[in-house]
Amino acid sequence: MKITLKVWRQKSKDAKGEFKTYPLDHVSQDMSFLEMFDVLNNDLVRKGEDPVAFDHDCREGICGMCSMYINGRPHGPLQTTTCQLHMRTFKDGETITVEPWRAKAFPIIKDLVVDRTSFERIQQAGGYISVNTGGVPDANEIPIPKIDADKAFDAAACIGCGACVAACKNASAMLFVSAKVSQLALLPQGQPERKTRVENMVAQMDAEDFGACTNTLACEAECPKGISVTNIARMNREYFSAKASSENA
C-alpha cells in the first residue's frame, strides 16, 4: 500500500520544529506502525538523511515507550500502543500525521522522542512501598479480598506511556498518578506510606506543571491498558482524606 507520512522533525529541545512529508509506496498491511517507520528510516539513511528519532523498546505493548500522536490521537486510531498498531488499520493512499506527545512536562528531545522523566520523579516521590529485610514471606500469607486484588491489578497494568497526558486537553497526568496511587492504596503492603504517598505524588505532579483534570474522560478512552477513571476518583478521596488527617502539618 501507498501512504504519505507527515512527520514532526525537530533537531533538539529548543530547536524550531516543522512537519516533513515523506511518501512511502511499498508498505505492507502486515507491518506494525513502528516497522513502517523502520522502512522509512532505512530509506532516509540510504539517502544520507537524518533518520526520524522515535522511542520504542519492547515492541510487545508492555513497556510504554512507543509514544506517537497519530492522526490526532495518542497511539493512533485504536486503543493500543503504537507498536501493536498495524498498517491494515489505515487506508491505501492515506496521509498520516505523526506528532510527538505535546506537554510542557514532556519536553521534546528530538523529533518524536519526548522526555518523560517527570513521570519518574512522580514515582520517586511516593510510588513505592517499604520492604523489610529478612526471609521471603510465604506467598498469599496476607489475605487480600479478591475484589481489591483485581482492582489493584487493573491499576498496576499502567505502563506509564503518557497517552493520558497526550490525549488530555489539559495535559493532565491524573490518570497515570491515580493508577500508581490506587495500586498501592488498595493493598495491605501499601498502607505504611498511604497518606504521604498521595500527598507527595500529587505535589510532584503539580510541580511538574501537568494540568488539572476536568473529567473529559479522554484519558480513559485513549489508555492502551484500559485504566479506569474510577482511579482518579479514588486518588481524590485518598488525597482529601490524607490532607485532612495526616500529621504532615
Partner 1 sequence: MNWFTNFFSSTLGRKLMMALTGLFLILFLAVHLAGNLQLLKSDGGRAFNVYAHFMTHNPLIVTISVVNFAFIAIHIIWAAILTRRNRAARGPVGYAVTNNSSSLTSRNMGILGTLILVFIVIHLRSFWYETHFGNIPLVDYDGSPVKDLFTVVDVAYTQLWFVVLYVVSMAIVGFHLYHGFGSAFQTLGLNHVKYNPAIRFIGVAFSIVVPVLFALIPILMFLDITIG
- Where does this chain touch ligand FES (CB under 6 A) — which range of 60-68, 181-189, 213-221, 225-233? 60-68
Does 240 engage in binding with ligand HEM (CB under 6 A)? no
CB hemisphere CA count around 10 (13 angstroms): 21
Q: Measured between alpha carbons, how far is 39 from 21 in angstroms, rounded to an integer?
A: 15
Q: Which is nearer to ligand HEM, 109 or 217 (CB)?
A: 217
Residue given cell 485513549 in the structure block: 222
Q: Which is nearer to ligand HEM, 17 or 211 (CB)?
A: 211
Q: Angle at CA 109, nearest 5°, toward 105 and 114? A: 50
* Burial class, 189, CB count within 10 angstroms (exposed 0-12 / middle 13-18 / buried 19+): middle
Instruction: Say which entry of ligand FES, ligand HEM, partner 1, none residue 158 contacts (CB below 5 to 8 A, set by partner kind).
Output: none
Does 214 engage in binding with ligand HEM (CB under 6 A)? yes
For 10, the grid coordinates are: 525537530
Does 113 engage in binding with ligand FES (CB under 6 A)? no
With beta carbons less than 8 A apart as the criterion, state whether 155 and 179 touch: yes
Q: Which is nearer to ligand FES, 35 or 43 (CB)?
A: 35
**CB of residue 227 to partner 1, shortest distance in Å:** 14
Longest CA–CA separation in the chain, Å = 64
Q: Which is nearer to partner 1, 19 or 128 (CB)?
A: 19
Q: Which is nearer to partner 1, 59 or 73 (CB)?
A: 73
71's torsion region: left (phi>0), alpha (psi -120 to 50) or beta? left
Does 67 engage in binding with ligand FES (CB under 6 A)? no
Does 237 engage in binding with ligand HEM (CB under 6 A)? no
Does 131 engage in binding with partner 1 (CB under 8 A)? no
Q: Interface residues with ligand HEM (CB under 6 A)?
A: 214-215
